Amino acid sequence: MHDSWVVKKKTSDAALPLVSRPGESSVVWVRDIPIGGEKAVVMAGPCSVESREQVTETAIAVKAAGAAVLRGGAYKPRTSPYDFQGLGVEGLMLLREAGDHTGMPVVTEVMSEEDVEIVADHADMLQVGARNMQNFALLRKIAKTRRPILLKRGPSATVKEWLAAAEYILHGGNESVVLCERGIKSFDNSLRNTLDLAAVALVKEMTQLPVIVDPSHATGKRSIIGKCARAALAVGADGVIVEVHPRPEEAWSDGAQSLTFAGFTEMMSDLTAPLAGVLNGG
């Protein structure tokens, strides 16, 4: 059944030939937006699509502040089955509408193999969520779409496992993969996760694929997201993805880490501010 996936010869554990071409620096296009090119890309939007008003209002605000890609979840991987699970197809349609209204491509998560087609019909980029990074059947299925993929790092995944997951997608025929560091588990629970910026710098030396950072899920804490976004670009990330909500205190998911419109605008101006003047005598 999966003939093309039958490995006839055992390769060495270290061999990930398709993703290990750091000299090549690939650019992944999300419609008209290049990721991995000269300029960093900001993706922004609500954690979950909740209503037409909420996603449209957010799209207009983030676009005005300089975001290039609209994010929004329609299928939500929630820790508890009693939490809001996303609007599903209705959410996909509302996200598409808001993207078209503001002229932004849209990225959204696909959680299950059976939803790949419908999500690919509505979205410009497919997100593989952290919890699904090693869902190999899903990776094989999305490899067959012609959509670019945003591959989040699993909360407990090593760099090698993360790159091996990307290798599945390239091996399946889809070269358009953007990696996303979104925080990992560590001994420290002061924050939601531990943002592994060293891994970002490392992975940039190991692969040609663009790498972006999600400081929202990495920290879970609104007040430090802008600072972590700056740090991400400083270590060489090709962009950031952040959560924004018109009224974070009313958000159906991830309110504590959602930026207000004003907070997002401030983050954007801080990102474009030069780092000059930080060195003594500089």
Question: Where do contacts with ligand PEP occur on this chain (CB under 6 A)?
Answer: 47, 73, 77, 129-131, 152, 182, 214, 217
Among residues 18 and 54, whose Cβ is nearest to ligand PEP? 54
Among residues 44 and 61, whose Cβ is nearest to ligand PEP? 44
Tokens of 257: 């880490």
Query: Is residue 107 part of the contact set for Mn ion (CB under 5 A)?
Result: no
- Residue partners of 252: CB distance under 8 A and separation at least 6: 47, 48, 50, 84
| Number of residues counted as binding Mn ion (CB under 5 A) | 2
Among residues 102 and 135, whose Cβ is nearest to ligand PEP? 135
Least distance to ligand PEP from the beta carbon of 46, Å?
A: 9
Q: Please choose which of Mn ion, ligand PEP, none residue 182 contacts, taking the beta carbon within 5 to 8 angstroms, the exact cut-off set by kind.
A: ligand PEP
Query: Are 165 and 178 contacting, i.e. CB atoms less than 8 angstroms apart?
Result: no
Q: Report 185-244 residues binding Mn ion (CB under 5 A).
A: none
Query: Are 178 and 210 contacting, i.e. CB atoms less than 8 angstroms apart?
Result: yes
Q: Please choose which of ligand PEP, Mn ion, none residue 130 contacts, taking the beta carbon within 5 to 8 angstroms, the exact cut-off set by kind.
A: ligand PEP
Whose CB is nearest to Mn ion?
A: 47
Q: Which of 42, 99, 80, 51 is nearest to 250 (CA)?
A: 51
Least distance to Mn ion from the beta carbon of 216, Å?
A: 7
Among residues 99 and 215, whose Cβ is nearest to Mn ion? 215
Phi, psi of 167, deg, nearest 5 = -60, -40
Judged by CB under 5 A, which stretch of 5-13, 43-51, 157-165, 194-202 contacts Mn ion?
43-51
Q: Please choose which of Mn ion, ligand PEP, none residue 52 contacts, taking the beta carbon within 5 to 8 angstroms, the exact cut-off set by kind.
A: none
Select the residue interacting with Mn ion from 63, 86, 254, 267 (CB under 5 A): 254
Query: Are 73 and 48 contacting, i.e. CB atoms less than 8 angstroms apart?
Result: yes
Whole-angstrom Cα distance, residue 175 to residue 149? 9
Among residues 182 and 222, whose Cβ is nearest to ligand PEP? 182
Element (H, E) at 180: strand 177-181
Whose CB is nearest to ligand PEP?
A: 129
Among residues 211 and 241, whose Cβ is nearest to Mn ion? 241
Q: How far apart are the first and last CA of the chain?
A: 62
Q: Where are the alpha helices (DSSP H) in 114-221?
A: 116-122, 136-143, 159-171, 197-206, 215-219
DSSP 89: H
